[in-house]
Structure 1
């Protein structure tokens, strides 16, 4: 799969926005939202909830920085972030099923359910904005 794909200005703007969001979210894992993020760690995960939040925050910041600065590996970073979004999705489902409140806004089953529908949007966003989806399609030709 060719890793350098020409992306549009619009794709680059959305990639940069996502990168900034990821860096901010990762920082918030380590600081002011640390307790709220623990509500997303399922009880069946065999690690300390705090450690999971810290590690996932570090991963989010690294992926966000990679989205910004590692342009020659943009496609691989896009696939990596998409996989990360898939891996954390069970935590969002667990938060919904267990009815755990977080972040002030996730204080009802309805709000937690609506949030679940944003994970596929994030996956599509990263695959489109990094050119990963196009690179995969081109590799099939």
Structure 2
């Protein structure tokens, strides 16, 4: 079995995978449209790329990952691993929002920003569980 050729998973995992995909598509669209300023505010000051391109690219990545989670049942392992890696890659931005006291998306206190940090591992676990990526990954 390869990353692109996996057997189907259970109905609950399929529903969870598609739900995560829909959330990512919505988040990606919001990056490009109505919530763009909020996302720009979240890009850490230390990040070496201009804020707006980061938001645009991350929005496109989220739409792509979300669409892939919805559409690719047989390629779910690779998509699940990519989605988990994406959630890990953007986590420093969440930490920076807390450390730099940046208000965005109603996270206007340090307590709210701190609590949010605990949701990123949930997204990683959701991506891995719903795609069965960790369970069904190719082993050497």
Give the alignment partner of residue 21 of structure 2, picking from 13, 16, 19. Answer: 19
Give how far 1:18 is off.
0.3
Task: Give the gaps of 5 or more residues in structure 1.
Answer: none
Alignment of 1:82-101 (within 5 A): 82-101=84-103
- What corresponds to 2:51 in structure 1? 49
Q: For the residues of structure 2 that align with 1:90 and 1:39, how far apart are their CA atoms? A: 14
Residues 2 and 139, structure 1, Cα contact 8 Å, conserved in 2 = no
- What corresponds to 2:123 in structure 1? 122
Number of aligned pairs? 138
The 10-residue stretch of structure 1 (12-21 or 33-42) with the greater mean CA deviation from structure 2: 33-42
Give how far 1:48 is off.
1.0
SS of the residue aligned with 1:71?
Answer: coil
Q: For the residues of structure 2 that align with 1:119 and 1:39, how far apart are their CA atoms? A: 18
- What corresponds to 1:66 in structure 2? 68
Q: For the residues of structure 1 that align with 2:19 and 2:50, how far apart are their CA atoms? A: 31
Residues 80 and 133, structure 2, Cα contact 8 Å, conserved in 1 = yes
Residues 12 and 129, structure 1, Cα contact 8 Å, conserved in 2 = yes
Q: For the residues of structure 2 that align with 1:26 and 1:74, how far apart are their CA atoms? A: 19
- What corresponds to 2:133 in structure 1? 132
Q: For the residues of structure 2 that align with 1:40 and 1:132, how far apart are their CA atoms? A: 29
Post-superposition, which runs of at least 4 consecutive aligned residues in structure 1 deviate over 4 A?
none
- What corresponds to 1:6 in structure 2? 8
Task: Give the gaps of 5 or more residues in structure 2.
Answer: none
Report the RMSD for the aligned CA atoms in angstroms: 1.3
- What corresponds to 1:110 in structure 2? 111
Q: For the residues of structure 2 that align with 1:99 and 1:87, how far apart are their CA atoms? A: 20
Q: What is the TM-score with the length of structure 2 in the denominator?
A: 0.93
